[in-house]
Structure 1
Amino acid sequence: MKNIIKTAFILITGSLLFVSCGEDFFDVNTDPKAANFEQVQVEYFLNNSITGAQMNPHVAERQFILYWKTGARQHRLNGVIATGSYNDGWSIDNYSFLSGWLKTANLAVSVAEEKIEAGVVFSYTNNLLQIARIWRVYLMSEFTDNYGPMPIDGFQGINPEFKDVQTVYYFMLAELADAVSKIDVNVQNPADLAKFDKAYGFDYLKWVKYGNSMRMRLAMRLSEADPAKAKTEFEAAAAGPIITHATDMFSVDEKPGWDDLTGVMTREWNSQPLSATLNNLYIGLGGIPTQEQVPEVFHENIKPADYMGLRFEQHMGTYTNDPTAGFIFDGLYPIMDPRAYKAFIIPGWFDNADFNHYPSWTQDAFNTSRTLVDDDSNVLTTLNGAGTWNAACLGAWGVKSAKNNFSFYVGTNPRLAHRYRNSTSSRVFFGPWETYFLVAEAAVRGWTTPMDGKTAYEEGVAASFAYFGVTEYLSDYLQSESYNRAGTSVKWEHIAEPPATVTMNYVDGYTGESGTWTFTYPVNHLHNNGATKNDLLTKIITQKYLSQLPWLPLEAWSDHRRLGLPFFENPSVELPISTMPALTQSNYMESRSAFFPQRVPYPSTLQNSNPAGYEQAVGFLGGPDAVLTPLWWAKQN
C-alpha cells in the first residue's frame, strides 16, 4: 500500500502542470509530503488519465492525425504509414504517452482496490473502481489496435510480460463484462464529484452503456478471427443498456490553448484535405441534389451526372484502381452525400463559417488558381479550384507530381471544416451511430440483436445525420438507389449490383476536345473476393465509415483491416514504392491487405529498454515488426 500511495502521489503532483485534481489535496497550507491514505482519491487518477488521453497537440498530431487519420483515409496524406512506412520518433512519443495514461488508469484501479480492502471507502468507491477498469480497457484497445501484442498486467514500473493479441482481447472482454456487472447505478454522488469525470460526470448508467457498447465494439473486432467468441460476447453485451442516444455519447469538450484538452486537429500545417477514398464514397450516394445543399452562387458549377471531368493523365497518378484516376473535376458533382459539404468545405466558399483558413500565416487557403506545367516547367494551363470538388489518389507519381501544382495545394482542395479544428468541439470516443451499425452488422451475421438489421442501419444513418445537422434529407436519402463511385447505394432493400461499366463524357484537358469514357466500378477483392459491391455488409460499413469522420479514425482503420471495407483505392505506382513492394504495375487493379497499413511498429525505445519483452511481442505477431504485418483479428491476405 505504501508503495502504491507513494507512486500515486508522485504521479499526481507531477500532473499539476496539466490537470487540477483536487483542491483540498493541493491546499497551499498543507504539507505535500504529508499526503495520506485518505487524501489520495481514485477520481484524481481517473481525471488525470481521461484528460491526458485527449492528447495534447504534440502527441495528437503524431497519433491521431499522422497515423490514425492517414491509416483510415480520413484525409489525404501521402507517404509514411499510407505507403507502408513509419516514423520512429512519432512512435516513441505515442508509446510513451499512452503508457503513461495506462499507468495512471492502473493506479486508479490499484488505489480503489486497496481502499476497499482497507475499508477506507465512500459509497461510490466501488463504482469508481469499475469505471477505472472500463477506462483502462479502452486505453488497452488503443494500444493493442496500434501495435498488437501487449502486457495485460504491466505499466507498473517493471518490464512487463507481453501477451498475444487474442489473450489481450479475451482479457479486455472479460474485464468489461465483470466491471459493468458490478456498477450500482443507484449510488448517489456528492455534488463536487462530477468535475473529475469530463466525459459523463460519473453518471453510472452512462458508464454502464459505454462499457457494454465498447464490449460490442471489441467483440465485433473478432468477427473474422474468432466468430464464436465474437457472437457470444456481442450478444451478451447487446442485451444490456447501450449507447443509443446523443445524450449517451462518450465525448470530452475541447478548449483553446495548448494542453491536453486542446483540439486534436488544431495543428495548422496539417491541411487535412479530402481523400480519394472518401470522395468515391460521397459522390452519388443518397440521391440528394447538390443544388439543394449549396448556395445559389455555386449552382452554375454543377456538372451533369454523366460528366467525368478534365483528363490530365500526364499530370495525375493512373497506376491505381481509383475509378476517377487521371481526372480533375472542374465543377461540382450533381449528387452528393449531404455530410460531405458539412465535413469538407468547397474551395472558394470563403463566407462559410466553417471554411478553414489554416495556415493562418499565409494566404494559401484563399488562393484557388494553380498551374500545370510541362516537362520544362513552362505553364501548360492554369486551373481555378473555386467551386470545384477534387481529391487525388495517393502514391508515387514520379514526374507527374512535379508538374502538378493543383492537386495537392491547400486552396484548391476541399478541406476539413473549421469547427473540428478550432478547439470548440467535443472529441467523440463513442457515438450512438456506432452502436446501431454494430447491431446492424450483427443482425446480418445472424446473431441475436435488440432490433432487426434494417432498423439498426437506418437508426445509425439517422444518428449520423443528426450529428452533421442534415436531418432534412434523411427520408429521401434512405430510399435512394443511386450508386456511389464504389458501386454502393443507401436503400437497405436495394442490393442489386451496379453495371460493370458506365459510359461517361469527358474533356481532354490538353486539347479541349470532348470524348466518351468507360467508367469502371472498382473491384474490391478484399470483400467477397470482389463479387459484390452493394451487399448489406458493404452498405453498413460504408455508412459507419462516413459516420465515424472525423473523431474515430482508429475505428475506421480497424474496420478496414478487419473486413477490407469500405473500398480503399491503391496508391498509384508510376514508380515502385519501396515500403510497399507487393504493389506493382502488374497488380494495381487488385485489392490486397499488403497494399494497406496494418499496424504501427513498436518504438526503438522498447527494444532498447526491454529487449526480452520486445522479442516476446514480435514473436506473437507472426511476422516482422512492420507496418504491413496484419494483426491477429485482421484479414491476412
Structure 2
Amino acid sequence: MKRLFIIFAFLAAAFSSCKKSLEENYMNPELTTSGSLGKLLSGMYLNKRIHPSYWDWYTFVMPTTGAFSQTVALSPGAQMYVPSTSYTENRWVDYYDGATGTDYNYSGPGIMSNYREMETVYNAMSAEDQQTGLIFLKVAQVILYDQTSQMIDLWGDIPFSASNSLNVTRSLSYAKFDDAASLYDTMITNLKVLNAYFDTATLATLQATELKKQDLMFNGDLGKWQRYANSLRLRLLMRISNYDEATAKTEVTTMLNDPATYPLITANEYNAVLWMSPTTVKSDLNDVFSGYPYAPAYLLDTLMLANNDPRTDVFWDADGTNGFKGFPVNGTTAQYEAGGYATFDSATFFYNYNIPAVLMTAAEVSFLKAEADERWTIGTAQTDYENGITQSTAFYYSINSNMVLKSGDYTALTAPTTATISTYLLKNAIAYSGTTTEKLAKIYTQKWMNFFVLQAGQAWAEYRRTGYPVLDFATSTSASGPTPPNRLLYPSSEQLYNSANYSAVSGKDTRDTKIFWDVN
C-alpha cells in the first residue's frame, strides 16, 4: 500500500482534554513549514503499537501474538489460528503510516514515517543546527530498530530502505522489500555504532533541556539510551544465534566480557519502559481483559501454581469457586463461556490506567546472558538465570504498586521476600540443574513467562526460535489454519498497490514459511 504519507495528526477530537497537553510535545509537519526534531521524537512514543492501546491489544496482541505464544487463553473456534487480515494490515500500516483503527485515547504517527520526517528535517538544517539536532535522530534510531525488528519477526522481508519516500522526496514511489537477514545485520552493526556515539556524546544546556522534555521514557539520560541500544543488540544477536552462531558468539562474547564498553540494562532502574501519565494519556485496557480474561492452564497450573511461583498473585485473580485454575488448551467454547477460571489480576491489569509500554527489561537481558553463558561458557549462567527471575518478580510487583485505578479500591500487593524467591529458586522444576539442554529449557521458559502479555510479540518470537516452552495447541477444524502459523501473511494491499515489488517475495508469502532465524 502507499505507506508513503507524511505523519497524520494523532489526537482524536473526542479527547480534547488530552489534546492540549500532548500538542505541546508534538507537532504535525503537515501544518508547519519546518518540524521540530524534539517534538517529532515525543510523537514517536505515541504510536499505538508502542504504548498500551486498546486497539492494539484487542485486535492484535491478544488474538494473535498472545494466542500464538499461549500467554493468553484463546476462545476455541475454527478460525482461532487465522488472524484477521484487516487487523494484521492495521499492524503493518501503523509501522509505516500510523493512525489506523480506533483508540480510546490517542493515535500516534507511524514509526517509519516519523523517522523519515526527522531525517528530512535534519537534512534541511544548517551544519551548526545539525550538530545540536543529531542526538534526537540517534535516539529515534534505537526506537526505529526495535520496532523494525518486530516487523521482521512477524513477516520476514519488509520494505525499509526505500520506504516512505513522500516524507523524504515529497513524491510517491513504491518500496522494494529488503531481505530480513540483511536488515538484521544492518541493525546489529548500527547499534554498535550507536553505543560508541552515546558513550561520547555531550549536550549543551539548551539541547539537554529539550531532550529531557521530549524524551518521554528516559528524560534525556544518554547512559540509559546506551544501555537500551546495547541490550537491543544483544537481543538481536541471540535471535540469530541458531542461524549464524559464529557471528552471534563472537559479538556477544565481546559485549559480555567488556561491560564497561558495552553497558546493558542490568537492573530494573534502567528498564526501557514508558509509564503512562493518566491525567493526559493512559492505558485503558479494561475492555481488552474483559474480552480475553482467562489464564492459560499451562502457564498458570503447570508452571506457576505447581511451583508456588511468586508472581502468581500479581499475574492472576483466583476464581471465586475454582481458585487458581487455568483454561485448558483443549477446552470447549461452552467451557470458555461458562467461566470459572482465573483471570488477569484486577489491580495490575484489569483496572490499571498505568500499565507501561515495555520495550526491554533487566530480566530479559539476564535471561539472554544466561543463555549465552550456558552455550558459550562466557559468564555464570546460574547467577544470570536467578537474577532474571528476581528482576522479573520485582518488575511485575512494581506495576501493581504503581497502579492508577480506573475503578475499584485495591491495596497494593506486598512484594515477595528474598526468602520466598530463594525457596522458589530451589524447586526441582526451577532450580538451575540438569543437562545443558534442560538448563536452556529453564532459561527459555522463564524468559517466556517474563514476557507474558506485556511483550507477547517477543514471547512468540522466542517460542518459534527456541521451541520452548513445549506447548500443546488444540487443532482447529479450519483447513486454512489448523495450528498457529510461522509468520503473518503480507497485507492484500501490498499485492494490489505494490505488486511489482511484492512479486519478488510472493513465494515466501505463506503461513508455513519460517522467519530466517527460525531454523528449528
- Which residue does 1:440 correspond to in 2? 370
Structure 1 CA distance for aligned equivalents of residues 25 and 466 of structure 2 = 51
What secondary structure, in the 3-state scheme, does the structure 2 residue paired with 1:605 have? helix
Structure 2 CA distance for aligned equivalents of residues 33 and 563 of structure 1 = 45
Given that 1:41 and 1:111 are in contact with CA atoms closer than 8 Å, whether structure 2 keeps it comes out as: no
- Which residue does 1:208 correspond to in 2? 226
1:337 aligns with 2:309: yes
Number of residue pairs aligned between Structure 1 and Structure 2: 462
- Note closer, same or farther for the CA distance 1:232–1:106 as it changes in structure 2 (3 Å cut): farther
What secondary structure, in the 3-state scheme, does the structure 2 residue paired with 1:60 have? helix
Given that 1:81 and 1:597 are in contact with CA atoms closer than 8 Å, whether structure 2 keeps it comes out as: no
Q: Which moved more, 1:93-102 or 1:103-112?
A: 103-112
- Which residue does 1:470 correspond to in 2? 416
Structure 2 CA distance for aligned equivalents of residues 78 and 24 of structure 1 = 40
Render the CA deviation track for 1:351-381: whole Å, top value 9, x for unaligned. xxxxxxxxxxxxxxxxxxxxxxxxxxxxxxx
The structural deviation recorded for 1:629 is 2.4
1:162 aligns with 2:206: no
The structural deviation recorded for 1:284 is 5.8
- Note closer, same or farther for the CA distance 1:260–1:612 as it changes in structure 2 (3 Å cut): farther
Which of 113, 125, 135 matches 1:127? Answer: 135
- Which residue does 1:235 correspond to in 2? 253
- Which residue does 1:278 correspond to in 2? 299
Render the CA deviation track for 1:174-229: whole Å, top value 9, x for unaligned. 22122222223542544353231221112111111000000000111111111112
- Which residue does 1:142 correspond to in 2? 150
1:479 corresponds to which letter in structure 2?
L
Alignment of structure 1 residues 22-37 onto 2, 5 Å: 23=24, 35-37=32-34
Given that 2:26 and 2:43 are in contact with CA atoms closer than 8 Å, whether structure 1 keeps it comes out as: no
2:66 corresponds to which letter in structure 1?
K
The structural deviation recorded for 1:126 is 2.1
2:197 corresponds to which letter in structure 1?
K
Structure 2 CA distance for aligned equivalents of residues 208 and 441 of structure 1 = 22
Which of 489, 493, 498 matches 1:605? Answer: 493
- Note closer, same or farther for the CA distance 1:79–1:220 as it changes in structure 2 (3 Å cut): farther
- Which residue does 2:203 correspond to in 1? 187
- Which residue does 1:313 correspond to in 2? none
Structure 1 CA distance for aligned equivalents of residues 488 and 471 of structure 2 = 19
Which of 483, 496, 504 matches 1:616? Answer: 504
What secondary structure, in the 3-state scheme, does the structure 2 residue paired with 1:121 have? helix
Which of 505, 508, 513 matches 1:629? Answer: 513
Structure 2 CA distance for aligned equivalents of residues 428 and 54 of structure 1 = 8
Which of 456, 480, 504 matches 1:579? Answer: 480
The structural deviation recorded for 1:15 is 3.5
Render the CA deviation track for 1:97-140: whole Å, top value 9, x for unaligned. 12122333422551464156x31427642222211211110110
Which of 197, 215, 219 matches 1:197? Answer: 215
1:541 aligns with 2:477: no
- Note closer, same or farther for the CA distance 1:270–1:92 as it changes in structure 2 (3 Å cut): same
- Which residue does 2:274 correspond to in 1? 252
Structure 1 CA distance for aligned equivalents of residues 282 and 214 of structure 2 = 14
Alignment of structure 1 residues 30-179 onto 2, 5 Å: 35-37=32-34, 40-52=35-47, 53-54=50-51, 56-78=53-75, 84-100=81-97, 101-107=110-116, 109-111=118-120, 113-114=122-123, 118-121=126-129, 124-153=132-161, 154-157=163-166, 158-179=173-194
- Which residue does 2:426 correspond to in 1? 479
Structure 2 CA distance for aligned equivalents of residues 161 and 445 of structure 1 = 37
| Unmatched segments (≥5 aa) in structure 2 | 13-17, 98-109, 167-172, 398-414
The structural deviation recorded for 1:150 is 0.8
1:598 corresponds to which letter in structure 2?
N
Given that 1:215 and 1:233 are in contact with CA atoms closer than 8 Å, whether structure 2 keeps it comes out as: no
What secondary structure, in the 3-state scheme, does the structure 1 residue paired with 2:232 have? helix
Structure 2 CA distance for aligned equivalents of residues 276 and 597 of structure 1 = 21
1:56 corresponds to which letter in structure 2?
S
Structure 1 CA distance for aligned equivalents of residues 376 and 25 of structure 2 = 54
1:605 corresponds to which letter in structure 2?
S
Render the CA deviation track for 1:370-413: whole Å, top value 9, x for unaligned. xxxxxxxxxxxxxxx3435232114xx7xxx36xx4x3147411
Structure 2 CA distance for aligned equivalents of residues 81 and 634 of structure 1 = 26
The structural deviation recorded for 1:263 is 4.2
Greater fraction strand:
1
1:387 aligns with 2:323: yes
What secondary structure, in the 3-state scheme, does the structure 1 residue paired with 2:359 have? strand
- Note closer, same or farther for the CA distance 1:408–1:33 as it changes in structure 2 (3 Å cut): closer
- Which residue does 1:323 correspond to in 2? none
2:116 corresponds to which letter in structure 1?
L
- Which residue does 1:490 correspond to in 2? 430
What secondary structure, in the 3-state scheme, does the structure 1 residue paired with 2:129 have? coil
1:415 aligns with 2:354: no
- Which residue does 2:380 correspond to in 1? 452
1:625 corresponds to which letter in structure 2?
T
Given that 2:465 and 2:518 are in contact with CA atoms closer than 8 Å, whether structure 1 keeps it comes out as: yes
Structure 2 CA distance for aligned equivalents of residues 242 and 81 of structure 1 = 44
Q: Provide TM-score, normalisation by structure 2.
A: 0.80
Structure 2 CA distance for aligned equivalents of residues 235 and 344 of structure 1 = 38
The structure with the larger Rg is 1
